[in-house]
Amino acid sequence: MIQTIKLLLPGLIPSWKFFKAIEPSPRVQWCMMDEAAQSCTDWQEYRPRPTHISAGSMLRRIFWNPNWNEALYMVSLAERLSLSSSTHSRDEIFKRLKLQLIRTNAIDAGRPCLQFRLVFVLREGTELVQQITYLSKTRRISDIVA
């Protein structure tokens, strides 16, 4: 019986030794603009984390949280894109951003172009510093296949 428990214990209590290092994950920020040549100043974070979550919401999220799953997928795409230029990752991020803009009814006809960037937030002393690791080319929202 003790041998069985010894075999099951590593599966029940995970070990974090497989991480070589814990590093920040990239955040996806997007911006809509008038023209493709314009530089963006109004960057928005893709699905920012809420500042407060009720106990009921936390309990529900244990069993059903499709938004978090999609956010994890975006982080995975962003990590791949920051390591090497990937057309699939770039197109998929644009697609997810467009779908989010459609869901939230945020598409502005006066600003038909979309651009995104990948940002790492690092702590240097007492300050948070944003490090831009990738800046996409601007695309017309109507040209993004969703």
Q: How would you classify residue 64: left for phi > 0, otherwise alpha for psi between -120 and 50, otherwise beta? A: beta
Q: Are 2 and 13 in contact (CB under 8 A)?
A: no
Amino acid symbol at 67: N
Nearest to 73 by CA among 57, 93, 43, 56: 93
Say yes or no to pLDDT of 16 above 70. Answer: no
- The mean pLDDT of 93-118, rounded to a whole number, is 90
Entry pTM: 0.78
The strand pair at 113-124 and 27-33 is best described as antiparallel
pLDDT of residue 40: 83
Contact 29, 43 (CB under 8 A): yes
In contact, 119 and 27? CB cutoff 8 Å: yes
User: Cα dihedral sign for 72, 139, 95, 50?
Assistant: positive
What whole-number distance in Å separates Cα of residue 87 and Cα of residue 71?
19
How confident is the model over 13-36, as a mean pLDDT?
77
**Considering just the CA atoms, what is the radius of gyration of the chain in Å?**
19
